[in-house]
């Protein structure tokens, strides 16, 4: 799980599906998981397959009163959960990871249908596997007391204790994986967690929670599904001690305002508009697949995807041509079809955003090298994989986060200008530098205003490497030791 942008020849992308991937057993287990999360007393709302627009299940629509009850139950359960100690909590997280592995194909099918990402490539099976990997890493990561002074007269240690109740508010693009990014460290440190999934993709998250809860004590991990009013209440709830949110910068600002009342600690992973800079010594053919998957993983619906690409004038046309060829070749379609590795936009709102930005780029002189229009023959929310050349800063496709399958490629001649333009927007989640000279790339990377800068790749995450944004992309770190500290309260023992 160290890199979500594998080459098309990587076995993780092209490997055979499990033997029963299209058989009755997988479908039956999928139905059984969906039955677990269906509203027990009627009500709720239909959730549609992103690709086919057919109803795949019903999700609960819970009230603010039900959320309040969930928080109260989580608060009551927290002291006993913390008292189990790190070793026992880690054992249970490892058991939960085993349960996820056992249900991985059914979970992958649910998230493929609900979110739209195909089973293969860096898609739904990848996401299900990542959930288990992040749980295991959180269980195995050691957070030792830190001796800050020991001079013979004073001995002071810094230790980390549970915060209390964590409110986890997730997005729709990687619904299960990002939920686990929030859940795993929080549980590991002795917190209880109330999860509010996106109203667009609740089924996969609720199914995942039901699998994890097969091994956890009651009320340690609770999911509450519903509209945005639940997220607002969770962020401002007086008994929530920590809020973890992944989503838009605008919503992140509202959560900051809400937290003024309860003084909840925050980890915010907000919107990104990641820039990539291709230096003149790069080999266009060698970097083409890395650029492509950096931009188009999950059909571009990834916060830390490559969203604007600055290419030196001397190799500009070669890079544009290589990207255009890949965009035309990589198969797109319904996620349950084994050959596809790109899918639809997840929802109508995002489809409209991508369409608007591409049309605006055309009006402003953008040259469509590949794609550039809806793929209506595939389904309602499909948009062709799109490369737009000859655009510049100030065009909406460059300045706004498209969060979809459309990459603007911007020409530059002076690297100082490229750095300034890359740093010119509010977003600061990720960035990348592409070069045959790693030392030269590192010098450029250190000048980019982003939480993570990748060299000759883009968007790869690892459960032990801290991840977080700067500027309008939020604050706080996830993953590894720093991720455990982020869901804990530091305490100094002096004496």
List, as one string, the DSSP characters of 346-365. Answer: SSHHHHHHHHHHHHHHHHTT
Q: What is the spatial distance between Cα 216 and Cα 230, in angstroms, rounded to a whole number?
A: 24
pLDDT at 8 over 90: no
Average pLDDT of the residues of the chain: 94
The helix or strand, by DSSP H or E, that contains position 286, with its residue range, turns out to be helix 284-296
Q: What is the spatial distance between Cα 66 and Cα 62, in angstroms, rounded to a whole number?
A: 6
Alpha carbon distances (Å) from 483 to 441, 462, 476 = 27, 12, 9
pLDDT value, residue 315: 98
User: pLDDT band at 3, cuts 50/70/90?
Assistant: very low
Residues paired with residue 155 on neighbouring β-strands, in sequence order: 150
Alpha carbon distances (Å) from 220 to 62, 111, 141 = 19, 24, 20
pLDDT value, residue 26: 80
* Catalytically active residues, by annotation: 269, 303
Q: What is the spatial distance between Cα 480 and Cα 484, in angstroms, rounded to a whole number?
A: 7
Q: What is the spatial distance between Cα 135 and Cα 90, in angstroms, rounded to a whole number?
A: 9
pLDDT at 19 over 90: no
The 10s digit of each residue's pLDDT in 449-462 is 999 999 999 999 99
Query: Is the four-CA dihedral 332, 335, 339, 341 of positive or negative sign?
Result: positive
Alpha carbon distances (Å) from 465 to 1, 141, 216, 270, 481 = 12, 12, 27, 18, 9
5 half-sphere exposure, CB direction, 13 A CA radius: 24
User: pLDDT band at 237, cuts 50/70/90?
Assistant: very high
Classify domain 11-270+470-494 at the CATH topology level: Aldehyde Dehydrogenase; Chain A, domain 1 (3.40.605)
pLDDT at 27 over 50: yes
Mean pLDDT of 201-222: 98
Contact yes or no for 291/434 (Cβ under 8 A): yes
Alpha carbon distances (Å) from 50 to 17, 301, 379, 409 = 21, 13, 9, 28
pLDDT at 111 over 50: yes
CATH class of 274-455: alpha beta
Q: What is the spatial distance between Cα 266 and Cα 253, in angstroms, rounded to a whole number?
A: 11
pLDDT value, residue 22: 47
The helix or strand, by DSSP H or E, that contains position 442, with its residue range, turns out to be helix 438-445
27 CB-contact burial (10 Å; exposed 0-12 / middle 13-18 / buried 19+): middle
pLDDT at 75 over 70: yes
Domain ranges of the chain: 11-270+470-494, 274-455
Which residues are within 8 A (CB) of 156 and not within 5 positions of it... i.e. 6 or more apart? 147, 148, 149, 150, 492, 493, 494, 495
Alpha carbon distances (Å) from 251 to 198, 447, 486 = 13, 28, 20
286 half-sphere exposure, CB direction, 13 A CA radius: 9
pLDDT at 193 over 50: yes
Contact yes or no for 123/341 (Cβ under 8 A): yes
pLDDT at 2 over 90: no
pLDDT at 487 over 90: yes
Strands 192-196 and 221-223: parallel
Mean pLDDT of 186-215: 98
Which single residue is written with the structure tokens 């023992």?
A: 493
Write the DSSP string, 84-113: THHHHHHHHHHHHHHHHHHTHHHHHHHHHH
Q: What percent of the chain has pLDDT over 70?
A: 95
User: pLDDT band at 24, cuts 50/70/90?
Assistant: low
Mean pLDDT of 294-322: 98
The 10s digit of each residue's pLDDT in 376-435 is 999 999 999 999 999 999 999 999 999 999 999 999 999 999 999 999 999 999 999 999
Contact yes or no for 455/431 (Cβ under 8 A): no
The helix or strand, by DSSP H or E, that contains position 48, with its residue range, turns out to be strand 45-48
Mean pLDDT of 482-486: 98
pLDDT at 169 over 60: yes
List phi, psi (to 5°) of 337.
Answer: -80, 120
Which one, of 442, 367, 336, 403, lies nearest residue 118 by Cα?
A: 336
Q: What is the pTM of this model?
A: 0.94
Alpha carbon distances (Å) from 230 to 180, 181, 186, 460 = 20, 20, 20, 32
């Amino acid at each position: 799980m160290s890199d979500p942008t594998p080459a098309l020849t990587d076995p993780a992308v092209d490997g055979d599906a499990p033997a029963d991937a299209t058989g009755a057993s997988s479908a039956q287990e999928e139905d059984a998981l969906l039955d677990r999360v269906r509203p027990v007393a009627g009500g709720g709302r239909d959730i549609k397959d992103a690709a086919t627009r057919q109803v795949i299940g019903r999700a609960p629509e819970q009230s603010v009163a039900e959320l309040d009850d969930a928080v109260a139950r989580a608060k009551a359960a927290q002291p006993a959960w913390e008292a189990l100690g790190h070793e026992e909590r880690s054992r249970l997280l490892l058991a939960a990871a085993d349960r996820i592995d056992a249900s991985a194909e059914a979970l992958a099918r649910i998230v493929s249908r609900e979110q739209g990402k195909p089973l293969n490539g860096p898609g739904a099976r990848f996401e299900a596997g990542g959930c288990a990997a992040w749980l295991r890493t959180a269980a195995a990561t050691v957070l030792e007391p830190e001796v800050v002074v020991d001079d013979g007269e004073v001995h002071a240690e810094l230790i980390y204790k549970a915060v209390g109740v964590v409110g986890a508010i997730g997005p729709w693009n990687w619904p299960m994986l990002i939920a686990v990014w929030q859940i795993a460290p929080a549980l590991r440190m002795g917190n209880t967690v109330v999860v509010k999934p996106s109203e667009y993709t609740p089924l996969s998250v609720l199914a995942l929670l039901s699998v994890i809860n097969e091994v956890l004590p009651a009320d340690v991990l609770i999911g509450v599904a519903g509209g945005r009013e639940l997220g607002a209440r969770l962020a401002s709830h007086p008994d929530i001690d920590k809020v973890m949110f992944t989503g838009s910068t605008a919503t992140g600002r509202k959560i900051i305002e809400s937290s003024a009342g309860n003084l909840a600690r925050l980890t915010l992973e907000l919107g990104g508009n990641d820039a990539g800079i291709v230096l003149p010594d790069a080999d266009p053919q060698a970097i083409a697949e890395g650029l492509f998957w950096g931009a188009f993983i999950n059909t571009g619906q990834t916060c830390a995807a490559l969203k604007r690409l600055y290419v030196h004038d001397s190799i500009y046309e070669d890079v544009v041509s290589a990207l255009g060829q890949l965009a035309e070749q990589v198969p797109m379609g319904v996620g349950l079809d084994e050959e596809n590795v790109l899918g639809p936009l997840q929802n109508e709102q995002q489809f409209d955003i991508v369409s608007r930005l591409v049309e605006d780029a055309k009006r402003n002189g953008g040259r469509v090298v590949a794609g550039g229009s809806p793929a209506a023959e595939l389904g309602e929310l499909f948009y062709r994989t799109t490369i737009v050349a000859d655009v510049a800063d100030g065009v909406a496709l460059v300045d706004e986060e498209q969060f979809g399958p459309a990459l603007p490629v911007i020409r530059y001649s002076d690297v100082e200008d490229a750095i300034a333009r890359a740093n010119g927007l509010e977003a600061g989640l990720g960035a990348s530098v592409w070069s045959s000279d790693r030392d030269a790339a590192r010098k450029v990377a250190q000048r980019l205003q982003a939480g993570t800068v990748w060299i000759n790749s883009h968007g790869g995450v690892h459960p032990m490497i801290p991840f977080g944004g700067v500027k309008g992309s939020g604050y706080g770190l996830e993953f590894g030791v720093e991720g455990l500290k982020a869901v804990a309260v530091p305490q100094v023992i002096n004496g």
